Structure 1
């Protein structure tokens, strides 16, 4: 699955990236976010099974400042699952 990870402060995107990986459960989502947060130079949020479930059901999950152990300088981190379009095959005879 592809995820668009955005860091928001004062209703503006200050950092973002698109990543691809498996995030079917909390452990996989945490590993994926740890990799992305390392690249974005930000703390990693605490990921619960509810967060992973919300990503599967609603295609997005939001982590507020209270979801981080370390102090953060942004309002929230949001992960949005991007839909993958299937390529159409042209059938020529």
Structure 2
């Protein structure tokens, strides 16, 4: 079992709830929603979750993207910012 939901078309609400309430994914969703623009970088997500390896953060974000729960946004170099002042 890979923790995914399949194609999403026949996903029961119970399966979806179980998927998004898995502890790490739930925390990452909360991190995203708490960001002022709802656009934290991977670096910010990794820094906000020091007890989780960077690879685990990446894996769970990819699963959330794959299921259409979050969307990946690529910013231009001039739009990128360092740090996470919204959490200080």
Task: Confirm or deny a common fold (TM above 0.5).
Answer: no
More helix by share: 2
TM-score range, shorter chain: under 0.3
The TM-score with structure 2 as length reference comes to: 0.27
Larger Rg: 1
More strand by share: 1
Report 1 or 2 for greater relative contact order, CA contacts < 8 Å, sequence distance ≥ 6.
Answer: 1
The TM-score with structure 1 as length reference comes to: 0.26
